[in-house]
Chains A and B, each alone.
Chain A
Amino acid sequence: MNQLINSLLVILVLTGFMLLGSSRLDSCIRTVAVQGVLLGILGVAMQADQWSIAGVMLPLSSAVVKGFVLPWLLFRAMREADTAREVEPFISYNLSILAGATVLGLSLWLGRQLQLANQPASSLLVPAAFFTSLVGMIVIVSRRKALTQVLGYLALENGVYAFGAAVALRLPILVELGILLDVFVGVFVMGIAIFHISREFDHIDTDKLTALTDRLR
């Protein structure tokens, strides 16, 4: 079981690099969806020794929401905003991947430094969680479109979810459901916001939004 968890975590890290390296919006959305499904399987795999209906249903429902519902919302937002399919980063893809490698080193170091109260199932769990959240932050900072910022936020949330799996074996169900609902509503609202931004300004380029002021010209 430990091998399975390790392999899942390695794939999670690789999806982080895919998110940084791919130039197409739709493949980025699919990558984040794959991350969500991976975390669902991870959540089930972590409870291999003590099965319970709630313990299995929760990761699975999270996988369904993150792997299918949210991507569907994002694809819809992409279609309605009628945006170009390229990611349009501020820094090159090579530089993004190098930044990812640096962040990976940082998270591995952080994972060694942190003393957790209870031993996580795999020594890779904490670094992978840190790495996924930091990749989310890199995507939020270094990409131009509003849609990619939503994707970065989702990757960040995936990292937080993985970290939660590392620190507390089982959070109260109510808390987990609440987080899931928050993410769902958040992405829903962001999808609508993207649609309105693109209708108002004919683009979803966040770089140009910084020029907005309250003053009427």
Chain B
Amino acid sequence: MISGSLFPLILAAALAPLMQSVIVRSKSVMAGRVGPPLLQPYRDVWKLARKGAVYSNATSWIFQMGPTIGLASLLVALTLLPFGGFAPLSAFSGDFVLIVYLMALGRFFTVVAALDTGSSFEGMGASREVTFAAFAEPAFFLALAALVRQTGYLSLNPVLAAVSTATWTHAAPTLGLTLAALIIVFLAENARIPVDDPTTHLELTMIHEVMVLDHSGPDFAMIEYGAALKMWLFATIIVSVAVPCHSGNRWLDTGAALLAILVLGVATGLLESSMARLRLLRVPQLLLVAIVLAALALAL
């Protein structure tokens, strides 16, 4: 089943934190600040990786396994994802289902690890995470299913390769709806602003941050790095649908995709600078809209 190259995985591993710092940088420019250096996420991960981890007496092995499984599931998911013109490490019929399940596995262990601490604060975050995931996962799955139905392939690599400018001209409504649903899921899954505020620490509104309060050292480095990889994964899918560049030259395609990811990062930063977080009760409505958009795309 080894069919492609390691290149997409290496690219994701190397550049994923950079996308986060692009978002931070565009937010700081909008606010008139200089902002942290672009390599700050790498430094954070390196700093955390050298520290020791502190484990509470109240926690069990599940708490220690959580970050590892979370990062591992994302790395495995990234081996299934093509980038630019490069085929992923492995591709088989139905691998898009595996991606959704791998994300769910990582989420499950993050949530269970948060519950394992016995902290009521983390329990609240876990409950919110699962509530929103119950809406975000069907939307993601339906969006992928819409792409599968539109292109007629069952594996993510040929599906994303089949989306082209020709597909856009004869099925613009389907692709537009799918793209809108994917962008909402991207914002929700990565704790960006209409759903969750990534800059709030220790506030009652937060979802993802609150679940990882008790992790420290290398474990926290894995969580931070995993968050970057997760954002990269969604960004790659969005970019391959939105900017289907198949020029024949793989390096040119990769350059175009990287540029599009840069644009997506800046756009996310602009969105976060220009709007406020939604009320917690309104978030399921936004995600329901994503489900409806994806279902409509599938039904067309």
* A interface residues (Cβ-Cβ under 8 A, vs B): 3, 6-7, 9-10, 13-14, 17, 21, 93-94, 97-98, 100-101, 104-105, 108, 124
Q: Show 21 residue pairs from A and B whose CB-CB distance is below 8 angstroms, ordered by the A residue.
A: A3-B169, A3-B170, A6-B172, A6-B300, A7-B172, A7-B176, A10-B173, A10-B176, A14-B296, A21-B289, A93-B285, A94-B284, A94-B285, A94-B288, A97-B285, A97-B289, A97-B292, A100-B292, A101-B292, A108-B299, A124-B300
Return the CB mask of B266-300 against A: 1 if under 8 Å, else 0.
00000000000000000011001101110110011
B residues 224-245 touching A (CB-CB < 8 Å) = none
Return the CB mask of B76-89 against A: 1 if under 8 Å, else 0.
00000000000000
The CA-CA distance from A9 to B300 in the complex, in Å, is 11
Min C-beta distance of B176 to chain A, whole Å? 8
Instruction: Please indicate which of the listed interface residues B176, B284, B288, B291 has the most CB atoms of chain A within 10 Å of its own CB.
Output: B288
The CA-CA distance from A7 to B176 in the complex, in Å, is 10
Instruction: Report the nearest B residue to A93, measured CB to CB.
Output: B285
Min C-beta distance of A57 to chain B, whole Å? 28
Contact between A17 and B170, CB atoms less than 8 A apart: no
Min C-beta distance of B191 to chain A, whole Å? 21
Min C-beta distance of B138 to chain A, whole Å? 11
Q: Is B207's CB within 8 Å of the partner chain A?
A: no
Beyond A93-B285, A94-B284, A105-B299, 9 extra complex contacts between A and B, CB < 8 Å: A3-B173, A7-B172, A9-B173, A17-B292, A21-B289, A94-B285, A97-B292, A101-B292, A104-B295
Q: Is B177's CB within 8 Å of the partner chain A?
A: yes
Which of B169, B295, B300 is in CB contact (< 8 Å) with A101? B295
The CA-CA distance from A98 to B135 in the complex, in Å, is 12
The CA-CA distance from A105 to B292 in the complex, in Å, is 11
Chain A interface SS verdict (over half):
helix
With a cutoff of 8 Å between Cβ atoms, the chain A residues found around residue B300 in the complex are 6, 10, 124
Contact between A13 and B285, CB atoms less than 8 A apart: no
With a cutoff of 8 Å between Cβ atoms, the chain B residues found around residue A105 in the complex are 299
Min C-beta distance of B8 to chain A, whole Å? 32
Contact between A104 and B299, CB atoms less than 8 A apart: yes
Contact between B299 and A97, CB atoms less than 8 A apart: no
With a cutoff of 8 Å between Cβ atoms, the chain B residues found around residue A21 in the complex are 285, 289
Return the CB mask of B164-196 against A: 1 if under 8 Å, else 0.
000001101100110000000000000000000
Instruction: Report the nearest A residue to B288, measured CB to CB.
Output: A97
Min C-beta distance of B285 to chain A, whole Å? 6
Min C-beta distance of B164 to chain A, whole Å? 16
Min C-beta distance of B182 to chain A, whole Å? 16
With a cutoff of 8 Å between Cβ atoms, the chain A residues found around residue B177 in the complex are 10
With a cutoff of 8 Å between Cβ atoms, the chain A residues found around residue B299 in the complex are 104-105, 108
Instruction: Report the nearest B residue to A11, measured CB to CB.
Output: B173
With a cutoff of 8 Å between Cβ atoms, the chain B residues found around residue A6 in the complex are 172-173, 300
Contact between B289 and A3, CB atoms less than 8 A apart: no
Instruction: Please indicate which of the listed interface residues A13, A108, A124 has the most CB atoms of chain B within 10 Å of its own CB.
Output: A13
Min C-beta distance of A15 to chain B, whole Å? 13
Contact between B285 and A3, CB atoms less than 8 A apart: no
With a cutoff of 8 Å between Cβ atoms, the chain A residues found around residue B291 in the complex are 101
Instruction: Report the nearest A residue to B173, measured CB to CB.
Output: A10
Which of B169, B172, B176, B289 is in CB contact (< 8 Å) with A17? B289
With a cutoff of 8 Å between Cβ atoms, the chain B residues found around residue A124 in the complex are 300
